[in-house]
Amino acid sequence: MGFKKNRIKLEDIANKLNLSIATVSRALDQNPRVKQSTREKVIQTANDMGYMPNQIAKSLSSGKTNIIGVIIPRYDEPFFIEVCRGIDHYVSTHNYKILISSSRNSFDSEVENLASFERGLVDGIILSPTHETKTFSHIKNVINAGIPVVLFDNIIEEMHGADHVLIDDKKAAFSAVEFFIKKGKKQIAFIGGAKEKKVFKDRFEGYKEALNTYNIPMNQNLILHCNSLDRKSDNIEINSFFNSPQIKPDAVFTCTDNYGLLTMKTLLKLGYKIPEDISVIGFGDLGLADVFVPSLTCVAQPSFEMGQKVAELLINQLSEPENINHQKKVITLDTKIILRESTP
Amino acid sequence: MGFKKNRIKLEDIANKLNLSIATVSRALDQNPRVKQSTREKVIQTANDMGYMPNQIAKSLSSGKTNIIGVIIPRYDEPFFIEVCRGIDHYVSTHNYKILISSSRNSFDSEVENLASFERGLVDGIILSPTHETKTFSHIKNVINAGIPVVLFDNIIEEMHGADHVLIDDKKAAFSAVEFFIKKGKKQIAFIGGAKEKKVFKDRFEGYKEALNTYNIPMNQNLILHCNSLDRKSDNIEINSFFNSPQIKPDAVFTCTDNYGLLTMKTLLKLGYKIPEDISVIGFGDLGLADVFVPSLTCVAQPSFEMGQKVAELLINQLSEPENINHQKKVITLDTKIILRESTP
DNA sequence: TTTAAAAAAACAAACGTTTGTATTATTGTT
DNA sequence: AACAATAATACAAACGTTTGTTTTTTTAAA
């Protein structure tokens, strides 16, 4: 702790006032066990001397750090930042702070981060698993060690043993594709990300089910799974996809806002009119979907709210008595389609 | 610290092996004072028992938390996130973690955050002052308490007593406007944010100086200072600005990427051709400047690098011997113009 | 006044480490 | 076999709080 050794502590106040450390501690805590006049004297002196409590000592003694650890796959995705904002918003009203770590989309780093948090620095953990994460044991271990964990986004079956918050990706995709179908679209393209990622798999399921429900044959040429290393590679993949001669879509459902914007960029360069010639729907509704010309119709994902809910579940666990057997909780949030210029 | 009471500690290992706590501690530390065979036995047992060191106790004892506190004005600006990425990148190689807090653009909240960090939770602090921040004393106090502080972005004169990293906003704006002038532009508009904010003031200075240097009269009608509450209000202000009959710019220098994109959106809606009729330059080069159609030429601000530099200055301070009198350090990073489609 | 009850404050252990100093065990020398 | 010298380990204080228990002081009743 980067402070000089002459930092004022309880002992200094106690010495100055000829009181015991315990009394000073209780006085500053507004504990009624110490006399009103003493309490005032202590508080006055503490202020005069510039006393600052030592959070670390407090934590060691009380067994609480009032810090929530948050592990996200990456910083540079507005979705995660928005969720963090939601978490921060909620926990700050409960006197908690958040410690954010990035797993940089690596399972090993996720395990490492978890272990680091397990060293007692945090009271609870919020985790968004990477798409590399196929197991639950590393999470289960933390839970078994008595540290509450809540998950969000990209939750696979195995992880249902932990509290979590998610959206119904399949349903959301279904409704977007259904929207296209009801507008009379027949050649609906799908642009998703790495197939191993749960959210993309689910959204693809929703796409297929919508086509199936309305008896529209699926055309493999209209389907693209980006590898999504970065925006530049996405751009290249999407470009060559639409430049292929087999492609004649009249609508495109994309699994992220970025894919949606890159798709529109590509289509505009190719001379398409949006939405007259072709419609586009994005997924997420963060960033600049509303700034682009034309603005992008989106499946809106309630990111901030998701953060709040995740935080709420965690704080609830933290305030439960230790011995009661925790009942697993799952919250599924609703999505909705925000209509803009990229669709008729 | 959210863990069950039955958590394994040094004492448990010591008891099991009939050793003292000190020896166990040293063994796990790879301290040569303990015999090779003992060391191995201890490490083996620690693993078997599932020992996890208690970070809080470690911190109390060692006086170091290995946490860096970072205070940014807001989460939802890619610039700050990018800086945080840079910080994280640098400090993680030095075995530090970052604790990010948002001051929500409020001076009071900044003071509060600083005080909270001063309670011994962090070894050092990185701060980006809000635009409300006009004083230095609250920062000076923290420094005087022995906690290293490094500042970035929006640094006013008063704060020069602390290490800081910045760009030359005036020079950057000057070069962007000069670029326009050399392309033959005569009616160069300026779109900035709240005038109290240092960065916007400096960029405005650069704009004025460029005009002045090339003997171009300044036209008040071509200047807009947005209040910048959120993107929606920016949009409205920029819209009504360009819809005014007095405005006939042939180029627009905007102080952020967002302003640049909103400007292009407005101009496109009004039927302008970019860059044929009018050119636009943004500032920052984060987010979607390269995705927009047309893509936006930008003054690129090295955000990630800024984070790394800030972190480097802080880590340097942390590794200095306590008694030496710290020599204040200032790093000014270079900007450059990234040419894209919005300029000829 | 003495004494019991209540109020106020002091004492001391605990939280889980680190680390300087003291003690015990081992080795090598004669 | 006795004795240094050194290696290995144990002891104990310290980090700055919190909090249960005990002691002292004050108040009020007899």
Q: Residue A3 has what pLDDT?
A: 54
| Co-location of B85 and B134 in the same domain | yes
Q: What is the DSSP letter of A222?
A: G
CB B205 within 8 A of CB B195: no
Q: Which residue is nearest to nucleotide D19 (CA to C1')?
A: A22
> What is the rounded CA–CA span in Å between residue B330 and residue B164?
5
Choose from B288, B316, B325 for mutation: most chain A CBs within 10 A: B288
User: H or E stretch including B127?
Assistant: strand B124-127
Q: Residue A278 has what pLDDT?
A: 97
The answer to whether B1 contacts A64, with C-beta atoms less than 8 Å apart, is yes
Is A55 inside a domain boundary? no
Q: Residue B35 has what pLDDT?
A: 94
Contacts of A28 in chain B (CB under 8 A): none
* B298 beta partners: B282, B338
Q: In CATH, what number is assigned to the domain containing residue A162?
A: 3.40.50.2300
> What is the rounded CA–CA span in Å between residue B95 and residue B106?
31
pLDDT at A311 over 80: yes
> What is the rounded CA–CA span in Å between residue B10 and residue B21?
6
What Å value separates CA A23 and C1' D23? Answer: 14
End-to-end CA distance of chain B: 59
Detail the DSSP E strand segments found in B12-108. 67-72, 97-102
Is B326 inside a domain boundary? yes
| Co-location of A151 and A174 in the same domain | no
Q: In CATH, what number is assigned to the domain containing residue A12?
A: 1.10.260.40
| Co-location of B154 and B67 in the same domain | yes
> What is the rounded CA–CA span in Å between residue B286 and residue A97?
28
Report how far apart, in Å, the C-alpha atoms of A154 and of each of B31, B35, B319 are.
43, 48, 40
Amino acid letter for position A271: G
| Nucleotides on chain C within 7 angstroms of protein Cβ | 7-12, 14-20
pLDDT at A5 over 70: no
User: H or E stretch including B25?
Assistant: helix B21-28
Task: Give the pLDDT confidence of A80-95 residue by residue, as tens digits.
Answer: 999 999 999 999 999 9
Q: Residue A263 has what pLDDT?
A: 97
Q: Residue B71 has what pLDDT?
A: 97
Is the shortest CB-to-strand distance from B62 to strand C under 7 Å?
yes
The answer to whether A145 contacts B53, with C-beta atoms less than 8 Å apart, is no
* A190 beta partners: A223, A253
What Å value separates CA A39 and C1' C4? Answer: 28
Domain count, chain B: 3
Q: Which residue is nearest to nucleotide C13 (CA to C1')?
A: A61
| Co-location of B112 and B49 in the same domain | no
- Which of A60, A84, A265 lies at the smallest CB-CB distance from B293? A265
Is B3 inside a domain boundary? no
CA dihedral sign, ordered A110, A260, A157, A121: positive
| Co-location of B27 and B85 in the same domain | no
Is the shortest CB-to-strand distance from B61 to strand C under 7 Å?
yes
| Co-location of B155 and B254 in the same domain | no
Domain span at B138 = 62-166+304-330
The answer to whether A291 contacts B60, with C-beta atoms less than 8 Å apart, is no
> What is the rounded CA–CA span in Å between residue A79 and residue B250?
37
> What is the rounded CA–CA span in Å between residue A124 and residue B200?
40
Q: Residue A153 has what pLDDT?
A: 94
What Å value separates CA B36 and C1' C29? Answer: 25
Contacts of B88 in chain A (CB under 8 A): 75, 102
Report the chain B residue with the minimal C-alpha distance to residue A263.
B291
Task: Give the pLDDT confidence of A253-305 residue by residue, as tens digits.
Answer: 999 999 999 999 999 999 999 999 999 999 999 878 999 999 999 999 999 99
Map tokens 């699994």 to a residue: A255
Q: What is the DSSP string of B168-183?
A: -HHHHHHHHHHHHHHT
Is A175 inside a domain boundary? yes
Q: What is the mean pLDDT of residues A302-329?
A: 88
What Å value separates CA A31 and C1' D19? Answer: 12
Strand order in the sheet with A97-102: A97-102, A67-72, A124-127, A149-152, A163-167, A330-333
Choose from A114, A291, A340, A342 for mutation: most chain B CBs within 10 A: A291
| Co-location of A126 and A6 in the same domain | no
| Co-location of A177 and A246 in the same domain | yes
Is B341 inside a domain boundary? no
**Chain CA centroid to CA B125, Å:** 12
The answer to whether A76 contacts B82, with C-beta atoms less than 8 Å apart, is yes
Q: Which two tokens stand for residue B80?
A: 């700050």
Q: What 3-state DSSP class applies to A249?
A: coil
CB B206 within 8 A of CB B170: yes
Nucleotide nearest residue B62, measured CA to C1': C18
- Out of A48-57, A203-212, A266-275, B2-11, least confident range: B2-11
**Mean pLDDT of the residues in chain A:** 93
Task: State which residues of chain B have pLDDT below 70.
Answer: 1-5, 321-325
Report how far apart, in Å, the C-alpha atoms of A84 and of each of A171, B81, B255 are.
25, 12, 27
> What is the rounded CA–CA span in Å between residue B22 and residue B16?
14
What Å value separates CA B49 and C1' D7? Answer: 28
Which residue ranges have CB below 7 A from strand D? A 5, 7, 9-11, 21-22, 25-26, 28-29, 51-54, 57-58, 60-62; B 14, 18-23, 26, 33-36, 38, 57, 60-61, 63
Omega within 30 of 0 (cis) for the link into A294: yes
Nucleotide nearest residue B24, measured CA to C1': D9
Report how far apart, in Å, the C-alpha atoms of A32 and of each of A22, A29, A40, A62 are.
13, 9, 12, 19
| Co-location of B151 and B253 in the same domain | no
pLDDT at A228 over 80: no
Is A342 inside a domain boundary? no
| Co-location of B174 and B289 in the same domain | yes
Is B213 inside a domain boundary? yes
Q: What is the mean pLDDT of residues A103-131?
A: 94
- Which of B54, B98, B290 lies at the smallest CB-CB distance from A119? B54
| Confidence band of A232 (pLDDT split at 50, 70, 90) | confident
Long-range contacts of A11-17 (CB under 8 A, 24+ apart): A12/A49, A12/A51, A13/A42, A13/A45, A13/A46, A13/A49, A13/A51, A16/A45, A16/A49, A17/A41, A17/A42, A17/A45
Q: What percent of chain A has pLDDT over 70?
A: 97
> What is the rounded CA–CA span in Å between residue A87 and residue A230?
26
Contacts of A319 in chain B (CB under 8 A): none
Candidates B159, B259, B150; CA nearest to B200 is: B259
Report the chain B residue with the minimal C-alpha distance to residue A141.
B50
Q: Residue A233 has what pLDDT?
A: 87
How buried is residue A89: exposed, middle or buried, by Cβ count under 10 Å (0-12/13-18/19+)?
middle
| Co-location of A84 and A177 in the same domain | no
Is the shortest CB-to-strand distance from B151 to strand C under 7 Å?
no
Q: What is the mean pLDDT of residues A107-124?
A: 94
Q: What is the DSSP string of A7-73?
A: ---HHHHHHHHT--HHHHHHHHTT-TTS-HHHHHHHHHHHHHHT----HHHHHHHHS---EEEEEES
> What is the rounded CA–CA span in Å between residue A271 and residue A280?
15
Is A109 inside a domain boundary? yes
Q: Residue B327 has what pLDDT?
A: 82
| Co-location of B249 and B318 in the same domain | no
